[in-house]
């Protein structure tokens, strides 16, 4: 059997209904030789059984526990046979002509890694490429100024063109398999910013990261993370510190650690006060985040 051009890897946790839609869209609209690899992170909602029953053409891996996004994707890459790796979130839908147009644009601009136009179900554009965030961006978020200044964002009009980017969204990524393998895949210690980390490593190795405009991919968004707010918030914060440790100086890491700790502590207090008058799951999430941050700093606990 000839190797496919694309190896489409989808990591799922508790996303049965949107995963079914995603796989159905790939089946209908792929438009080029491909294989589908689904890594199920021990979903209790029957996702894996649904894939086995309804999409027998897919390679299905049933993990015994929730390994996280990066380790699960890496295990999918080990099984991949295609020239290109396509990472898709389970809450994405492939539009007609999107994959061939994406691959054509990727090759035309000479990208090493690329991301496509992302839109919501209603067709509105979603940001899917950013500048690499730094300590200043974290400080702006601490004081809730990041939405006003949008320092690491590109102008909305730019998303109507192809352009080189700091990094592209991990919801939909395309890269040559050998290149990703040569860079070591996704960092298994990150459960957020793993897309920024991979794009930066590829760029540091001499490759180019591109956003490519075209028919695009529909991205519903947040189907796994919104089910586990505690883990989502803690890993958002911890991954910034891990990123700073990996790519910055000791002084930068110290500054980032202080800013992130203040971020978690102030939100823990604020949302705990709000929890006195309304249901507020973020109160517990930020309190747990403070504990996780202290464990990371004091005990080098790198668990996700």
200-256 per-position pLDDT tens digit: 999 999 999 999 999 999 999 755 555 578 889 999 999 999 999 999 999 999 999
User: How large is the average pLDDT for residues 77-100?
Assistant: 97
Q: Region 109-137: what's the mean pLDDT? A: 96
The model's pTM is 0.94
Mean pLDDT of 115-121: 96
pLDDT band at 48 (very low <50, low <70, confident <90, very high): very high
Structure tokens at 31: 């438009």
pLDDT of residue 304 exceeding 90: no
For residue 191, the model assigns a pLDDT of 87
Q: Which residues pair with 34 in a beta bridge?
A: 6
What is each CA distance from 42 to 13, 50, 67, in whole angstroms?
A: 7, 13, 8
Q: Which domains does the chain have, with CATH numbers?
A: 6-219 (3.90.550.10), 228-299 (no CATH)
Q: Predicted confidence band at 106 (pLDDT cuts at 50, 70, 90)?
A: very high
Q: How confident is the model over 90-97, as a mean pLDDT?
A: 97
> Average pLDDT, whole number, for the chain?
95
Position 146 pLDDT exceeds 80: yes
Q: Residue 13 to residues 82, 237, 239: CA-CA distances in angstroms?
A: 24, 21, 20
Q: Which of 32, 38, 29 is CA-nearest to residue 9?
A: 38
- Assign 18 to helix, strand or coil: helix
CB environment 140-158: b (16+ within 10 A), e (fewer): bbbeeebeeeeebbbeeee
Q: What is the pLDDT of residues 167-187, one digit of tens each?
A: 999 999 999 999 999 999 999
Distance from C-alpha of 3 to C-alpha of 15, rounded to nearest angstrom: 29
Q: Note the pLDDT of residue 9.
A: 98
Residue that is written with structure tokens 């000839």 in the block:
2
> Can you give the pLDDT at residue 1?
60
Q: What percent of the chain has pLDDT over 90?
A: 91
Q: How much of the chain, in percent, has pLDDT values that exceed 70? A: 98
Q: What is the pLDDT of residue 70?
A: 94
Inter-residue contact 27 to 62 (CB < 8 Å):
no
pLDDT band at residue 2, thresholds of 50, 70 and 90? confident
257 pLDDT higher than 60: yes
Which pLDDT score, from 0 to 100, does residue 223 have?
53
């Amino acid at each position: 059997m000839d190797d496919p051009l694309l190896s489409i890897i989808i990591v799922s946790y508790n996303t049965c209904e949107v995963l079914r839609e995603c796989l159905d869209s790939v089946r209908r609209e792929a438009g080029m030789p491909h294989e589908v690899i689904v890594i199920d992170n021990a979903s209790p909602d029957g996702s894996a059984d649904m894939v086995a029953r309804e999409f027998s053409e897919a390679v299905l891996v049933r993990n015994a526990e929730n390994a996280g996004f990066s380790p699960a994707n890496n295990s999918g890459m080990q099984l991949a046979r295609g020239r290109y790796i396509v990472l898709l979130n389970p809450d994405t839908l492939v539009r007609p002509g999107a994959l061939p147009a994406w691959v054509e644009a990727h090759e035309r601009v000479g990208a090493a890694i690329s991301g496509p136009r992302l839109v919501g179900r209603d067709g509105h554009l979603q940001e899917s490429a950013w500048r690499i965030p730094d300590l200043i961006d974290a400080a702006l978020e601490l004081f809730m100024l990041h939405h006003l200044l949008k320092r690491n964002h590109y102008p909305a009009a730019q998303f109507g063109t192809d352009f080189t980017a700091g990094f592209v969204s991990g919801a939909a990524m395309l890269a040559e398999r050998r290149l990703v393998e040569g860079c070591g895949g996704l960092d298994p210690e990150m459960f957020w910013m793993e897309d920024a980390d991979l794009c930066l490593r590829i760029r540091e190795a001499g490759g180019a990261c591109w956003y490519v405009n075209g028919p695009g991919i529909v991205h519903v968004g947040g189907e796994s993370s919104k089910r586990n707010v505690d883990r989502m918030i803690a890993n958002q914060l911890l991954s910034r510190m891990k990123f700073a440790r990996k790519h910055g100086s000791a002084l930068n890491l110290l500054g980032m650690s202080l800013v992130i700790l203040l971020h978690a502590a102030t939100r823990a207090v604020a949302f705990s006060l709000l929890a006195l008058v309304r249901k507020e799951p973020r109160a517990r999430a930020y309190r747990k985040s403070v504990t996780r941050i202290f464990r990371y700093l004091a005990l080098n606990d790198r668990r996700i």
